[in-house]
Amino acid sequence: MAPLRYARTPIEIESPEELGYDSISYNLAESSFADQRLSDYGIDTDVGDLLLQYGDHLGLPRLRELIAAESAETGGSDPNGIGPDQVTVTSGAAPALFIVATALLGPGDHALIQAPNYATNLETPRMLGADLEHVEIRYEDGWELDVDRLASQIRPETKLISITYPHNPTGAMIDAETLERIVGLVDDHPTARLLLDETYRSLAPEPLPLAASLSERDRALSISSMSKTYGLPGLRMGWIINRDPELAETLLAAKEQILICGSTADEEMAARVLEAKDRILPPIRAKIDEHLGIVRGWLAADDVRDVFEWVEPRAGVVGIPRLRDPDAIDIDRFYKTLLENHGTYVGPGHWFDQPRSSFRLGFGWPTTDELHKGLAGLLAAAADAAK
């Protein structure tokens, strides 16, 4: 096999952390709740007595129990739910996606992947030489997933169907019945598996059941992490949930080859956060609701509505507004003046293979004041860049 052709993606190269957080005053480019310290959540940070041994290869058992318990919250259709041994802890959702893609796909394997999407979901199958077909969602359709079209795209030899909900970068959402229908499609298929990227799951007003808990043939996988919901991407803590024992062995082998096990200290911290979840989540949800309302109000103003439009996000912390009349604006100048003169950063459309006249706007990360100023910057930059 030829060496894998790793290529950096624009979203990573141009990410705020690579650009330098100090060069951005109003950061509307992030796809998570605001970055936090453990002390912000009142979490005991003392790990001085923790033995820094190689940990359990699947992940700290207490942490896996907390993750598995999430299946009971929304009642997956399977009464047995998810057990802690069906959870593989990884250092973030990104490596989880990588492990699953490399475990399931080889050159020429047919994979149906939602587009647009978080870059790794598309990039790893592409790099592996899979026969990648997009499950496209479009602004014109309100970013709705057309499940009939998805069903018609499935071939006898399809290996993977990969979708993300709540969706990044659009904030689109599906309901539990739709998810059950999609799980049914893979359960009726000889080779296909479903990967649901659930990284934003707990930020939904009504979280979906864990996809892995719904599959009668154990053909669905759930991937998530601590990064987005809790604003703790620096913990590098994520997981794969899978009930197929044969695949579980492969996933563990992949993890052992890459990492052996996770960071003992990070896993302990993640467990402490999840133990306090019922206390931590409500204020996060409240801030996100308030900020979505601010963006909604901004877009309702006449002068803003003349320039920008969006399909309002239904869940999560991002949406993807666009310029109503892209021909009236010099797009390169718009992004340049937005950052240089108005201190505001957003995720330009090319991060997601979308037109650059659209951009991802993250409303969960900035403070309320920063959000207001960043939104004002967007309108000012569009005026600066008018042709």
Ligand X SMILES: Cc1ncc(COP(=O)(O)O)c(C=O)c1O
Angle at 235 between CA 232 and CA 241, to 5 degrees: 90
Candidates 24, 67, 68, 94; binder of ligand X (CB under 6 A) is: 94
Rg (CA), the chain: 21
Beta bridge mates, 355: none
CB 164, min distance to ligand X, A: 5
CA distance 311 to 140: 9
CB 246, min distance to ligand X, A: 25
CB 376, min distance to ligand X, A: 26
DSSP state letters, 108-159:
T-EEEEEES--HHHHHHHHHTT-EEEEEE--GGGTT---HHHHHHH--TT--
337 binds ligand X (CB under 6 A): no
Applying CB under 6 A, what is the total number of residues that bind ligand X? 13
Q: Segment contacting ligand X (CB under 6 A): 43-51, 91-99, 210-218, 284-292?
A: 91-99
207 binds ligand X (CB under 6 A): no
Q: Segment contacting ligand X (CB under 6 A): 88-96, 267-275, 321-329, 371-379?
A: 88-96
Question: How many helices (H) does the chain have, and how many strands (E)?
Answer: 15, 14
Q: Measured between alpha carbons, how far is residue 216 from residues 76, 86, 183, 369 in Å? A: 11, 15, 9, 48
347 binds ligand X (CB under 6 A): no
Residue type at 270? Answer: A
Of residues 143 and 298, the one with the C-beta less far from ligand X? 143
Q: Measured between alpha carbons, how far is residue 133 from residues 108, 115, 125, 206 in Å? A: 11, 9, 10, 30
Q: Segment contacting ligand X (CB under 6 A): 58-66, 92-100, 245-253, 270-278?
A: 92-100
Residues 234-293 that bind ligand X (CB under 6 A): 238
222 binds ligand X (CB under 6 A): no
CA distance 186 to 191: 8
Location of structure tokens 């990039």? 123
329 binds ligand X (CB under 6 A): no
Of residues 94 and 304, the one with the C-beta less far from ligand X? 94
CB 94, min distance to ligand X, A: 3
CB 93, min distance to ligand X, A: 3
36 binds ligand X (CB under 6 A): no
* Of 301, 141, 302, 337, residue with least CA distance to 346: 337
Of residues 164 and 222, the one with the C-beta less far from ligand X? 164
CB 264, min distance to ligand X, A: 19
* Of 385, 367, 368, 180, residue with least CA distance to 359: 385
CB 63, min distance to ligand X, A: 15
225 binds ligand X (CB under 6 A): yes
Angle at 255 between CA 251 and CA 261, to 5 degrees: 130
199 binds ligand X (CB under 6 A): yes
Kindly state the tokens that stand for 50: 């923790």
Binding mask 362-381 for ligand X (x = CB under 6 A): --------------------
Beta strands in 307-357 (DSSP E): 308-309, 318-319, 322-323, 344-345, 347-348
Q: Segment contacting ligand X (CB under 6 A): 69-77, 87-95, 98-106, 307-315?
A: 87-95
Binding mask 115-134 for ligand X (x = CB under 6 A): ---x----------------
Residues 149-178 that bind ligand X (CB under 6 A): 164, 168
Residues within the interface to ligand X (CB under 6 A): 31, 92-94, 118, 164, 168, 197, 199, 225, 227, 233, 238
